[in-house]
Protein backbone atom coordinates (compact mmCIF):
# COMPACT_ATOMS: atom_id res chain seq x y z
CA UNK A 1 0.00 0.00 0.00
CA UNK A 2 1.42 3.38 -1.03
CA UNK A 3 2.37 5.80 1.74
CA UNK A 4 0.95 9.35 1.61
CA UNK A 5 2.06 12.28 3.78
CA UNK A 6 -0.85 14.70 4.35
CA UNK A 7 0.34 18.17 5.35
CA UNK A 8 -2.89 19.63 6.80
CA UNK A 9 -5.93 18.31 8.63
CA UNK A 10 -8.74 17.47 6.20
CA UNK A 11 -12.45 16.98 6.74
CA UNK A 12 -13.14 13.70 8.54
CA UNK A 13 -14.82 12.11 5.51
CA UNK A 14 -11.82 12.88 3.32
CA UNK A 15 -9.37 11.45 5.79
CA UNK A 16 -11.41 8.26 6.11
CA UNK A 17 -11.37 7.85 2.32
CA UNK A 18 -7.60 8.34 2.19
CA UNK A 19 -7.10 5.70 4.89
CA UNK A 20 -9.10 3.22 2.80
CA UNK A 21 -6.80 3.72 -0.17
CA UNK A 22 -3.37 4.43 1.29
CA UNK A 23 -1.12 4.15 4.29
CA UNK A 24 -1.44 7.77 5.41
CA UNK A 25 0.28 10.02 7.90
CA UNK A 26 -2.24 12.68 8.95
CA UNK A 27 -1.88 15.99 10.75
CA UNK A 28 -4.54 15.80 13.52
CA UNK A 29 -3.42 19.08 15.15
CA UNK A 30 -3.46 20.93 11.80
CA UNK A 31 0.00 22.32 12.40
CA UNK A 32 1.41 24.40 9.56
CA UNK A 33 4.63 22.59 8.72
CA UNK A 34 7.87 24.31 7.85
CA UNK A 35 9.85 23.17 4.83
CA UNK A 36 12.16 21.18 7.09
CA UNK A 37 9.20 19.42 8.69
CA UNK A 38 7.75 18.52 5.30
CA UNK A 39 11.10 17.11 4.19
CA UNK A 40 11.54 15.07 7.37
CA UNK A 41 7.89 14.05 7.72
CA UNK A 42 7.60 12.73 4.17
CA UNK A 43 10.84 10.76 4.25
CA UNK A 44 10.38 7.36 2.61
CA UNK A 45 6.80 8.20 1.60
CA UNK A 46 5.50 7.79 -1.95
CA UNK A 47 3.44 10.97 -2.25
CA UNK A 48 2.38 14.19 -0.56
CA UNK A 49 -1.10 15.67 -0.34
CA UNK A 50 -0.21 19.31 0.16
CA UNK A 51 -1.99 22.56 0.80
CA UNK A 52 -1.52 26.08 -0.52
CA UNK A 53 0.13 26.96 2.80
CA UNK A 54 3.04 24.58 2.22
CA UNK A 55 6.40 26.07 1.12
CA UNK A 56 7.51 23.55 -1.49
CA UNK A 57 10.13 25.59 -3.32
CA UNK A 58 13.11 24.33 -5.29
CA UNK A 59 15.26 23.91 -2.17
CA UNK A 60 12.54 21.89 -0.44
CA UNK A 61 12.05 19.69 -3.50
CA UNK A 62 15.78 19.06 -3.82
CA UNK A 63 15.78 17.65 -0.28
CA UNK A 64 12.65 15.50 -0.58
CA UNK A 65 13.08 11.74 -0.35
CA UNK A 66 13.72 10.12 -3.72
CA UNK A 67 10.70 7.93 -3.04
CA UNK A 68 8.31 10.90 -3.48
CA UNK A 69 6.77 10.60 -6.94
CA UNK A 70 3.75 12.92 -6.71
CA UNK A 71 2.63 16.09 -4.92
CA UNK A 72 -1.15 16.44 -5.04
CA UNK A 73 -1.82 20.07 -4.17
CA UNK A 74 -5.25 20.65 -2.64
CA UNK A 75 -5.81 24.01 -4.33
CA UNK A 76 -6.67 25.50 -7.68
CA UNK A 77 -3.27 27.19 -7.70
CA UNK A 78 0.20 25.74 -7.31
CA UNK A 79 2.29 28.85 -6.78
CA UNK A 80 3.57 27.33 -3.53
CA UNK A 81 5.28 24.56 -5.52
CA UNK A 82 8.26 25.00 -7.82
CA UNK A 83 6.91 23.13 -10.83
CA UNK A 84 10.19 23.21 -12.76
CA UNK A 85 12.17 21.74 -9.86
CA UNK A 86 9.55 19.04 -9.36
CA UNK A 87 9.62 18.09 -13.03
CA UNK A 88 13.43 17.90 -13.03
CA UNK A 89 13.29 15.55 -10.04
CA UNK A 90 10.65 13.39 -11.70
CA UNK A 91 7.85 14.42 -9.34
CA UNK A 92 4.36 14.82 -10.79
CA UNK A 93 2.34 17.79 -9.49
CA UNK A 94 -1.45 18.06 -9.58
CA UNK A 95 -3.96 20.67 -8.45
CA UNK A 96 -7.74 20.82 -7.97
CA UNK A 97 -9.29 23.12 -10.58
CA UNK A 98 -13.02 23.63 -11.16
CA UNK A 99 -14.22 22.56 -7.71
CA UNK A 100 -13.70 25.93 -6.02
CA UNK A 101 -14.67 28.19 -8.92
CA UNK A 102 -18.14 29.12 -7.70
CA UNK A 103 -17.19 29.53 -4.04
CA UNK A 104 -14.27 31.82 -4.89
CA UNK A 105 -16.31 33.86 -7.38
CA UNK A 106 -18.94 34.39 -4.67
CA UNK A 107 -16.24 35.70 -2.32
CA UNK A 108 -14.90 38.02 -5.01
CA UNK A 109 -18.32 39.62 -5.40
CA UNK A 110 -18.52 39.91 -1.61
CA UNK A 111 -15.14 41.67 -1.56
CA UNK A 112 -16.22 44.17 -4.20
CA UNK A 113 -19.53 44.81 -2.47
CA UNK A 114 -18.06 44.94 1.02
CA UNK A 115 -15.38 47.39 -0.05
CA UNK A 116 -17.57 49.59 -2.22
CA UNK A 117 -20.41 49.85 0.31
CA UNK A 118 -18.14 50.57 3.29
CA UNK A 119 -19.05 47.40 5.16
CA UNK A 120 -16.13 47.65 7.59
CA UNK A 121 -16.95 51.22 8.59
CA UNK A 122 -20.62 50.30 8.81
CA UNK A 123 -19.89 47.39 11.16
CA UNK A 124 -17.91 49.67 13.46
CA UNK A 125 -20.68 52.28 13.49
CA UNK A 126 -23.34 49.66 14.21
CA UNK A 127 -21.34 48.02 17.01
CA UNK A 128 -20.57 51.30 18.74
CA UNK A 129 -24.21 52.44 18.36
CA UNK A 130 -22.89 55.89 17.57
CA UNK A 131 -24.51 56.42 14.20
CA UNK A 132 -27.57 58.17 12.91
CA UNK A 133 -29.14 58.04 9.48
CA UNK A 134 -28.28 61.09 7.39
CA UNK A 135 -28.18 61.97 3.72
CA UNK A 136 -24.41 61.65 3.51
CA UNK A 137 -23.73 58.85 6.01
CA UNK A 138 -21.15 56.32 4.74
CA UNK A 139 -21.86 56.90 1.08
CA UNK A 140 -20.44 54.10 -1.02
CA UNK A 141 -20.33 53.23 -4.71
CA UNK A 142 -22.94 51.11 -6.46
CA UNK A 143 -21.78 48.27 -8.66
CA UNK A 144 -24.88 48.58 -10.82
CA UNK A 145 -24.21 49.50 -14.45
CA UNK A 146 -20.49 50.10 -13.92
CA UNK A 147 -17.53 48.78 -15.90
CA UNK A 148 -15.87 45.78 -14.26
CA UNK A 149 -12.32 44.98 -15.29
CA UNK A 150 -11.21 41.39 -14.75
CA UNK A 151 -7.50 40.65 -14.63
CA UNK A 152 -7.27 36.97 -15.46
CA UNK A 153 -10.27 35.52 -17.31
CA UNK A 154 -9.89 31.88 -16.34
CA UNK A 155 -12.60 29.77 -14.74
CA UNK A 156 -12.94 32.00 -11.69
CA UNK A 157 -12.72 35.23 -13.67
CA UNK A 158 -15.50 34.05 -15.97
CA UNK A 159 -17.62 33.03 -12.97
CA UNK A 160 -17.13 36.51 -11.51
CA UNK A 161 -18.21 38.01 -14.85
CA UNK A 162 -21.36 35.89 -14.86
CA UNK A 163 -22.32 37.14 -11.39
CA UNK A 164 -21.41 40.74 -12.19
CA UNK A 165 -23.79 40.75 -15.14
CA UNK A 166 -26.65 40.43 -12.66
CA UNK A 167 -25.63 43.92 -11.50
CA UNK A 168 -25.84 45.18 -15.06
CA UNK A 169 -22.07 45.57 -15.22
CA UNK A 170 -20.17 45.86 -18.48
CA UNK A 171 -17.37 43.29 -18.47
CA UNK A 172 -13.84 44.06 -19.64
CA UNK A 173 -10.86 41.75 -19.28
CA UNK A 174 -7.16 41.21 -19.86
CA UNK A 175 -5.79 37.71 -20.26
CA UNK A 176 -2.66 36.13 -21.67
CA UNK A 177 -4.69 35.57 -24.83
CA UNK A 178 -8.08 36.53 -26.17
CA UNK A 179 -10.82 34.03 -25.39
CA UNK A 180 -13.17 32.47 -27.90
CA UNK A 181 -16.42 34.35 -28.33
CA UNK A 182 -18.43 31.75 -26.42
CA UNK A 183 -16.12 31.98 -23.39
CA UNK A 184 -16.03 35.78 -23.60
CA UNK A 185 -19.83 35.86 -23.49
CA UNK A 186 -19.89 39.51 -24.48
CA UNK A 187 -16.87 40.63 -22.45
CA UNK A 188 -14.52 43.17 -24.04
CA UNK A 189 -10.89 42.10 -24.44
CA UNK A 190 -7.95 44.44 -23.78
CA UNK A 191 -4.50 43.55 -25.06
CA UNK A 192 -2.70 45.37 -22.25
CA UNK A 193 -3.16 45.91 -18.53
CA UNK A 194 -2.96 49.65 -19.19
CA UNK A 195 -5.98 49.55 -21.48
CA UNK A 196 -7.95 47.43 -19.01
CA UNK A 197 -7.14 49.52 -15.96
CA UNK A 198 -7.97 52.76 -17.77
CA UNK A 199 -11.47 51.44 -18.49
CA UNK A 200 -12.21 49.89 -15.09
CA UNK A 201 -14.47 51.45 -12.47
CA UNK A 202 -14.34 48.21 -10.49
CA UNK A 203 -11.42 45.79 -10.79
CA UNK A 204 -11.43 42.08 -10.01
CA UNK A 205 -8.01 40.44 -9.57
CA UNK A 206 -8.19 36.80 -10.64
CA UNK A 207 -4.86 35.97 -12.24
CA UNK A 208 -2.76 33.06 -10.93
CA UNK A 209 0.40 33.57 -8.93
CA UNK A 210 3.41 33.04 -11.17
CA UNK A 211 6.85 34.66 -11.38
CA UNK A 212 5.42 36.81 -14.19
CA UNK A 213 2.45 38.04 -12.16
CA UNK A 214 4.31 38.81 -8.92
CA UNK A 215 3.48 42.44 -8.05
CA UNK A 216 1.72 42.87 -11.38
CA UNK A 217 -0.45 45.40 -9.55
CA UNK A 218 2.16 48.00 -8.65
CA UNK A 219 2.79 51.73 -8.59
CA UNK A 220 2.94 51.98 -12.39
CA UNK A 221 -0.11 49.86 -13.17
CA UNK A 222 -2.17 51.45 -10.40
CA UNK A 223 -1.42 54.85 -11.97
CA UNK A 224 -3.47 53.75 -15.02
CA UNK A 225 -6.66 53.66 -12.96
CA UNK A 226 -9.23 56.40 -12.80
CA UNK A 227 -9.83 58.04 -9.44
CA UNK A 228 -12.05 56.13 -7.01
CA UNK A 229 -11.68 52.63 -8.47
CA UNK A 230 -12.82 49.72 -6.28
CA UNK A 231 -10.54 46.65 -6.26
CA UNK A 232 -11.16 43.11 -5.03
CA UNK A 233 -8.45 40.46 -4.67
CA UNK A 234 -9.45 36.83 -4.16
CA UNK A 235 -6.47 35.50 -6.15
CA UNK A 236 -3.10 35.68 -4.38
CA UNK A 237 -1.47 38.26 -2.15
CA UNK A 238 1.81 38.37 -4.01
CA UNK A 239 0.29 39.72 -7.21
CA UNK A 240 -0.09 43.08 -5.42
CA UNK A 241 2.63 45.47 -4.30
CA UNK A 242 1.18 46.33 -0.89
CA UNK A 243 3.12 49.57 -0.45
CA UNK A 244 1.87 50.82 -3.81
CA UNK A 245 -1.71 49.77 -2.98
CA UNK A 246 -1.63 51.61 0.35
CA UNK A 247 -0.41 54.72 -1.42
CA UNK A 248 -3.14 54.41 -4.07
CA UNK A 249 -5.81 54.10 -1.38
CA UNK A 250 -4.49 57.12 0.50
CA UNK A 251 -4.29 59.33 -2.60
CA UNK A 252 -7.79 58.45 -3.76
CA UNK A 253 -6.90 56.42 -6.84
CA UNK A 254 -8.46 53.42 -5.09
CA UNK A 255 -11.80 54.17 -3.46
CA UNK A 256 -11.75 50.94 -1.48
CA UNK A 257 -9.95 47.61 -1.48
CA UNK A 258 -11.39 44.22 -0.59
CA UNK A 259 -8.96 41.35 -0.07
CA UNK A 260 -9.10 37.73 0.98
CA UNK A 261 -5.43 36.90 0.36
CA UNK A 262 -2.18 38.34 1.66
CA UNK A 263 1.56 38.35 1.28
CA UNK A 264 2.97 36.11 4.00
CA UNK A 265 -0.38 34.88 5.29
CA UNK A 266 -1.63 35.09 7.99
CA UNK A 267 0.40 38.27 8.36
CA UNK A 268 -0.98 41.41 6.78
CA UNK A 269 0.68 44.65 5.76
CA UNK A 270 0.33 46.80 8.89
CA UNK A 271 -0.72 49.89 6.93
CA UNK A 272 -3.88 48.13 5.73
CA UNK A 273 -5.03 47.88 9.34
CA UNK A 274 -4.88 51.66 9.69
CA UNK A 275 -7.28 52.23 6.80
CA UNK A 276 -11.06 52.36 7.01
CA UNK A 277 -11.89 51.97 3.33
CA UNK A 278 -10.79 48.37 3.28
CA UNK A 279 -12.66 45.06 3.61
CA UNK A 280 -10.73 42.07 4.89
CA UNK A 281 -11.44 38.34 4.96
CA UNK A 282 -9.12 35.52 6.15
CA UNK A 283 -8.70 33.55 2.91
CA UNK A 284 -12.27 32.26 2.77
CA UNK A 285 -12.43 31.87 -1.01
CA UNK A 286 -12.97 28.11 -0.93
CA UNK A 287 -14.40 27.96 2.58
CA UNK A 288 -17.61 26.06 2.14
CA UNK A 289 -17.90 22.49 3.35
CA UNK A 290 -18.85 21.22 -0.09
CA UNK A 291 -15.92 22.93 -1.77
CA UNK A 292 -13.32 21.82 0.78
CA UNK A 293 -14.65 18.24 0.52
CA UNK A 294 -14.42 18.43 -3.25
CA UNK A 295 -10.86 19.78 -3.14
CA UNK A 296 -9.59 16.93 -0.94
CA UNK A 297 -11.59 14.37 -2.96
CA UNK A 298 -10.06 15.64 -6.21
CA UNK A 299 -6.54 15.54 -4.74
CA UNK A 300 -7.20 11.98 -3.53
CA UNK A 301 -8.46 10.97 -6.98
CA UNK A 302 -5.30 12.36 -8.55
CA UNK A 303 -3.21 10.25 -6.17
CA UNK A 304 -5.35 7.19 -6.88
CA UNK A 305 -5.05 7.61 -10.64
CA UNK A 306 -1.30 8.18 -10.49
CA UNK A 307 -0.58 5.07 -8.46
CA UNK A 308 -2.87 2.96 -10.62
CA UNK A 309 -0.81 3.88 -13.68
CA UNK A 310 -3.15 6.50 -15.16
CA UNK A 311 -2.24 10.08 -15.92
CA UNK A 312 -3.93 12.24 -13.25
CA UNK A 313 -6.71 14.41 -14.62
CA UNK A 314 -5.20 17.53 -13.06
CA UNK A 315 -1.49 17.08 -13.76
CA UNK A 316 0.21 20.44 -14.20
CA UNK A 317 3.79 19.44 -15.08
CATH 3.30.70.20 fits 101-280, yes or no: no
Tell me if residue 87 is catalytic: no
- Of 172, 174, 190, 236, the active-site residue reads 236
Tell me if residue 236 is catalytic: yes
CA-CA distance, 91 to 58, in Å (whole number)?
A: 12
Burial of 66: CB neighbours in 10 Å, binned 0-12, 13-18, 19+? exposed
How many residues belong to the chain? 317
Q: List where CATH 3.40.50.720 sits in the chain.
A: 3-99+288-307, 101-280
Q: What is the pTM for the complete model shown?
A: 0.90
- Of 87, 147, 163, 283, the active-site residue reads 283
What's the CATH architecture for 3-99+288-307?
Answer: 3-Layer(aba) Sandwich (3.40)
pLDDT at 76: 87
Tell me if residue 155 is catalytic: no
Q: What is the pLDDT along the chain (317 residues), one digit of tens a residue?
A: 999 999 999 999 999 999 999 999 999 999 999 999 999 999 999 999 999 889 999 999 999 999 999 999 999 888 899 999 999 999 999 999 989 999 999 999 999 999 999 999 999 999 999 899 999 999 999 999 999 999 999 999 999 999 999 999 999 999 999 999 999 999 999 999 999 999 999 999 999 888 899 999 999 999 999 999 999 999 999 999 999 999 999 999 999 999 999 998 899 999 999 999 999 999 999 999 999 999 999 999 999 999 999 999 999 99
- Of 37, 184, 265, 271, the active-site residue reads 265
DSSP 229-250: EEEEE-S-GGGB-HHHHHHHHH
Amino acid sequence: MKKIFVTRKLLKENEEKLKELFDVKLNPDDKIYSAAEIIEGSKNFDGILSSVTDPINSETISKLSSSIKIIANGAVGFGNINIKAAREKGITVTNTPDVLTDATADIQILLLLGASRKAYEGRIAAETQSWKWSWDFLLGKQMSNKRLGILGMGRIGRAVAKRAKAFGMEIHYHNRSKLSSDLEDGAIYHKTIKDLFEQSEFLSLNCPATPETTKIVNKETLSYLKKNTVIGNAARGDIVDDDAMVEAIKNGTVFAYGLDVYNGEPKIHPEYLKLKNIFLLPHLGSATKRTRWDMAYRATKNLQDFFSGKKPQDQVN
